[in-house]
Chains A and B, each alone.
Chain A
Amino acid sequence: MKTLTFTVNGAPTQVDVEEHDYLAEVLRNRLGLTGTKIGCNEAECGICTVLVNGTPVVACIYPALRAEGASVETIEGLAQGDKLHPLQEAFVEGGAPQCGYCIPGIIMTAKGLIDTNPDPSDHDIKVALKDTLCRCAGYSFITHAIQSAAKQLRDGEPQDHLPSLPETVAPLNVIGRPFPRPDARLKVTGKALYSDDFAFPGMLHARTLRAKYPHARILKIDTSRAKALPGVHAVLTADDIPGEKNHGLVIQDWPALAVDKVRYIGDPVAIVAADTRDIASAALALIEVDYEVLPVVSDPVKAHEPGAPLVMESGNLLKHIKVRRGDVAQGFAEADLILEETFHTPTYEHAFLEPECSIGRIAEDGRYEIIVGSQIPYQDRSQVARCLGVPDDQVRIKGALIGGGFGGKEDIAGQVHVALLTRATGRPVKMLYDRHESLIFHPKRHATQITVKIGAKNDGTLTAVETTLYGDSGAYASLGEKVMTRATTHSAGPYEVPNVKADCYAMYTNNPPSGAFRGFGVLQSAFAVESAMDMLAERLGIDAVELRRKNLHRVGSVTNTGQTLRESVGLEKCLELVSAEVTKRKETTQPASKNKRRAWGLAVGYKNTGLGGGAPDKSSAEVELYADGTVQVRTSAAEIGQGLVGVVAMCAAEELGLKYEDVRVLLSDTDLTPDGGPTTASRQTFVTGNAARMAARTLRNAIEATLSELYDQPPQNIRFEEGLARVNGHSLPMSEVAQIFTRQGLQPKATYEYWAPKTQPLGTGGDMHFAFSYAAQAAEVEVDLDTGEVKVLQMVAAHDIGRAINPLALQGQIEGGMVMGLGHAMTEEFIVEDGIVFTDVLARYKMPSIKHAPPITSFIVEDAASTGPYGAKGVGEIASIPTLAAISNAVYNACGVRLHKLPVDQDSLLRALKSGKRTG
C-alpha cells in the first residue's frame, strides 16, 4: 500500500492504494465515488472518463499513483449542492440520458471540451466524443445538450434546453408532453445506482470458471487446490446446487453450472467466492478440470444435417416453425416473375455498456435478497428459488438501475450463482462480469440464413412468398424459439400476400446462445425481405416505393398468419411521409465528389407489440396516494433506458390530474411491486402503461366515491386538476384527500391487473398479436468507388407508434434504435469461429459512435390502437427494423452492388466493384 495524495473535486484527499490500482478503482472502491462507470476496462468505451488537471482521460487504465499531486474531477464534483451544472441541467431537460450508464463519462468528456472551447461546433463535439460511447445512442440529444449548456455558460442566461421534436398530436394535461425522465437527475449527477455500485459489509467477490472448449465432456473437476487458497470462502460446482440444476426462460435446458458436459465456451463450470476479486481470479486458475473434447458444430445449417455433432442429446433442432397461408405452388404458378435470393446476417452483440452484475445476500429477515439489473425480476425470482430449492417467497429480487439491456438481460447471468454462494458462505456476494466474460457468455442476436422466394405479377402484385430461415440458437434454448418465430411470421414483410409458406429451423450449435435482442428476429427477416423487394422492383421495372405501396398492409389486410388488421395500420402514411421527404431532399443534396457515389435507399417494417401467440400477457401496477399529496406507482417492469418510468408516471398523473413531478415510481422490487412481466416485445408502454393508467383510474374512482359521499355530490361533479380535487366549489389538495381516507380508515391505494387482449397461437388463425407498430425509413449513403468505404450521410424516418406519450423519450428511442440498426448494417459483427469467440474484447466489436450517427429527420404517425394507453403501441424495437435494408438498398442504388450479407464490408464491396460483380 502507498498513500496517494491528490485533489478530488476540489477537496484535498489522501487515500491508501495498492501500487497496481487504477484511478477508476480508487475512485469507485476506495473513495465511494461510484458515479464513474466502468464499461470495458480496455480504453475502448470512454465512459470512465474523468478530468485529470482538466484533461479527459480514461480512468480504467490510468495508474492511480500517476494522479499523485493532480487535481481530479469526477461527475460528483459538478453540481454545487442542489444546483446542477449547466451541462447536467441541459442533459436532463434535453432528454440526453436514456439508460444513463454512459452519461457521467459523456458529461465529463463534454466538460473537458467546453472548458477549453466555449462554443463547440457539431464537428468539435464529434471529435471530442468520438470514443465516448452511448449504446442507447442518444447522440443528437447529447450534441444539442452540450451546445445548449455551452450557450448558457457563455451568455450567463438560462436556456430552454429542449431540442426540437417531431410534430405530434395535441397533448392532454400530461400525456403527449416532452417531460424529462424522472431518473434523469440521478443519472447526470452520478447518484444513479447500478448493481456494481452497491456494496455491503463483509461482501465477498465471486468469479466463474468457464469452459475451456466449446464442446466437451467433463470427466473430473478437482476444486481442492482452489478451496485451499487463503481468502477463498467457497468453490461450488453443479453437485453443490440443492435444487434444480437448470434454468431457462422457456425450456429449462441451461445448467447453472455445467453438468457432465460443456456446450459452449461461455458455459460456467465452477464458481468461487473470495475476499477479493483478485483472490477469486487466482482460485479459478487452481481448479482442475479434465475434459474429453467433442466435435463442434457452429453453423445452424450444418447442425441440421444428418450426422452433425449433437449439442443436445435430444437432437439439434430446437424448433421447426411453420407459417402457412394459401397455396404457394398456385401462387408461384400465377406469378409473371419469380425471384429467389439468400441472405445472411451475423451474430450481433447487445453491447450494453453496463456488464452484468448481481449481488446476493441474506436479508435481515433471513430470506435471500438479490440485487440485479434484470429485465424480468419475477422470473429471476422463481429461477433463483428453483435452483436453491426454496419457495419463491424466500427470494426477493431488488432491481438496480440497468445500464442498457436491449434484450440481453432477460436470461440468468449471475443471479443464481450469487444466491448459491451466499447460501454456502452466509456472506453477501457480488458477481461482476468483466467485458470479456459478458461478451462470451450472454445470449446474442441469432445469426441467420434466410432464403426469400417471391412471385409477382407484372404489375407488382405479390402472388406468393416462400421463406426458409435458419437461426443459430447456440448452445441453449433461451428465447430462441420465440425469437425465430417472430422472424418467421414477419419474414414476408408487412405485405398482403395470398400465398405464404415459411419454414424456420432454430438450431442448437456450440456457439454462445442466442436470445432476445431488440427487434426479436424481425431485423434479420426484414433485411432479407426488404432487400428482395428492391430487387424485385428493379426486375419488374417498377419504382420500389410503388411496389411497396401496392402490397402493403392496410386496415382490412389479412396477415400471413391469418390475422385481419382491423385498426391502427399507419404504414402507408409512414411510407408517404418518407418518400415525399426523400424526393424533396434529393433536389437539394450535394452531388458527391469525384469517384464517390451517393444514393438513397428505403425500406419498411413492422413489429408486434406484446408477447402474442396466445401467451397470457398481463401487467400489474399499484398506485398509492401519500399524505403529502404525492403519488407512488409501483410495478415490476424494467427500466432499461426506454423511458418506462416516465410513461408510468405520466399515465398516473394524467388520470389523477396531478403534476408529473408529483408522481414517483418504484420499479422491480418483488416484495413491494406487483409483477409487470418481462420487459420484452415492446410491451411495457402498452401493458404496464395500461396497468398504471387503470390503477390510477381505480384510485380516482375510489376518491370520487369517498368525496361524493362526504360532499353529497354526484361523482361526475368531481374533477381532478392541477393536483387538486374540485368538488362543488371546494378545492382539496391531494394531501387533504389522503387525510380524508386515513380518517375514514381507508387506504388511498389501488392495484390493477391489466390483461392485454387475448391472442391466438401461430397456426390457429385469428389475432396472433393485439397491435403492430410500423415504420418506413430511408438512408442516403455515399460509396467511395476507390476504396469501397461507405458512409451513411442522413436518414429520414416515419414511425407509427399509436400515440406519442412522451415525444422526448420517444424520439430518443427512435434515434437510438435507428443508430443501432445502422451499427448492425455498418460496424457490428460478433465473430465466432468453430465455437471460439473471436470478438472477446470490446475493441473487436465496434458499436456506432457519435461520428457514425447521421442527421435524422423523423416523422411520428399516431394511428391509435384502441386498446393501448391513450392509443399507444410499442416503440422500442420497430425503429431498428427497416434500417439495415434501407442502408443496403442505398448502397446498391449508389454503386450497383447488392449486399447479401451484413455488415457492409468495404473490402468485398470494392472487390465486387472492381470485378464488375453485382453482389457483395
Chain B
Amino acid sequence: MPLWEHYHRPSTVDQAIDNLAQYAGRARVLAGGTDLLLEMQQGRTAPVTAVVDITQISEIKTIEEADGYILIGAGVTHTAITHATLLAQKATCLVESCGVIGGPQVRNVATLGGNVAHALPAGDGTLSLIALDAEAEVAGPKGREWRPIGSLYVGPGKSALDHAAELIVRFRLKPHTAGEGSAFKRIMRPQGVALPILGLGAWVRVAGGVVEAARIALGPAGPRPLRAGQAEAFLVGKAFSRDLLPALAEHVLAEARLRTSPHRATAEYRTELILPLLARAVPLAVQRATTGHVTPEGIGEG
C-alpha cells in the first residue's frame, strides 16, 4: 500500500521545516530511508501523508574543519564519511563505525543524521559520535540550536527530536590533536538482523604514556547509548597498559545494563564480551594517540 501521498524535496533547511509544518505531524524527514522506509513498510511507524526528502539540501551534505571544530552535515552518507581523509585522521572511530554499517549500497545512501535520529542505543555512527563528545545542530520552527549528542536519545528507537517539526542540520566535534586517538570495534552475529551484539567507541588523550582524558561509549548497554563514566575516570591519570583492561572491564560492567535480546544475544554473553571488546578498542586508541599513526580498520568488513 502507498506509504505516503506527497513527496517533497526541498533544497534548504528552512523549506524542509516549512514542509514539515504543513502536515502538522503527518510528515517525516526522509534521508537515506534505510531505516525509515523499512519501518514504514513493516508498519512500525505512525502513518504519514508526506515525506520530506532532505538529500537535496546542500548545506547538510558537507564535511569541513572550521573554528576548531569538524563539522559534518547530517545528510552526509556513511560512504562519504569513510572516504574523508580528514575524518580518518581526526575522527578515526567515526570512520570505523560508519564503515561497518550495512553494505556499500546502504552506505551510499544512509546518513549519519539518520543513524542518530533513529536513536538506537547501538547505532554504530551514534556510538562514535558519543565517544567524540559531538554536538548536533537542530533546526526547528523556532530556529537552530546546538545540543549535546547524548541529549537526543530518550529510549531504544526513541529520539528527543520532534520528528514532526525538527531536523538535524549537522554535527560538530573536536578534531583529534596531538596525543589524541580513537577507535571503534563491534561484535556481530552472523545470524539474524544486522544489529551489533555490542559496539564500543573509545577516545583517549595520552601524554607520556599516561591517560589524561578518556571517553568510552558502548551499546546496547541500556535504553540509551552508554557513556561509561566510571570506567573513564578509572583510566584517567594512569599509565596505560593492557594489564588495566580487566579492571576497566569491571568498571564498565558496573555501569552497563546488559540485557538478553531474544535471537540476538544473552546478557551473559554480552558480559563476556566487554573485556575482549575493550581489549580491541582501547589499546588501539592509545596506540594511535601515542604514535599519531592512524589507519582505520575494518572498513567495509561489517
Contact = CB atoms under 8 A, between A and B. Distances in A.
B159 interface: no
Contacts of B197: 907
Interface stretch (B4-12, B58-66, B86-94, B142-150): B4-12
Nearest to A282: B1
Interface in A150-206: none
A43 interface: yes
A786 to B, nearest CB: 4
A46 B266 contact: no
Interface in B87-123: 102-106, 108-109
Contacts of A68: 9
A907 B269 CA distance: 6
Contacts of A43: 34, 37-38, 102, 105-106
Given A63-B33, A841-B42, A914-B272, A57 B109 contact: yes
B208 interface: no
A65 B266 contact: no
B38, B51, B191, B265: most-surrounded residue (chain A CB, <10 A): B191
Contact of A56 (B1, B108, B302): B108
A127 to B, nearest CB: 3
> Interface size bucket, B side?
35 or more
A68 B8 CA distance: 12
Interface string A887-920: 0000000000000000101110011001000000
A828 B192 CA distance: 8
Contact of A66 (B1, B2, B9, B273): B9
B301 interface: yes
Interface in B235-292: 263, 265-266, 268-269, 272-273, 275-276, 279
Interface in A14-40: 18-20
A668 interface: no
Given A18-B2, A19-B7, A910-B269, A827 B191 contact: yes
Given A43-B38, A789-B187, A911 B269 contact: yes
A844 interface: yes
Interface residues of A, number: 53
A130 B100 CA distance: 11
A282 B197 CA distance: 38
B189 A278 contact: no
A367 interface: no
Interface in A64-92: 65-66, 68
A787 interface: yes
A819 B273 CA distance: 29
Interface in A813-834: 826-829, 831
Nearest to A284: B1
A58 interface: yes
A20 B4 contact: yes
A852 B190 contact: yes
Contacts of A789: 187
Contacts of B151: none
Contact of B30 (A63, A128, A281): A63
B34 A61 contact: yes
A846 interface: yes
Contact of A46 (B53, B105, B275, B301): B105
Given A282-B1, A787-B273, A65 B190 contact: no
A903 B263 CA distance: 12
A129 to B, nearest CB: 8
B53 A66 contact: yes
B24 interface: no
A278 to B, nearest CB: 5
A906 B189 CA distance: 7
Contacts of B268: 911
A788 B277 CA distance: 13
Given A66-B53, A68-B9, A907-B266, A787 B38 contact: no
A341 interface: no
A555 interface: no
A333 interface: no
A131 B3 CA distance: 25
8 contacts: A19-B4, A20-B4, A61-B38, A128-B104, A130-B104, A131-B102, A844-B263, A907-B197
Interface of A: 2, 18-20, 41-43, 46, 49, 55-58, 61-63, 65-66, 68, 109, 112, 127-128, 130-132, 278, 281-282, 786-789, 826-829, 831, 838, 841, 843-846, 851-852, 903, 905-907, 910-911, 914
Give the 9 A-B residue pairs with the shortest CB-CB distance, closest first: A131-B103, A127-B300, A786-B276, A19-B7, A907-B269, A20-B2, A827-B190, A130-B103, A58-B105
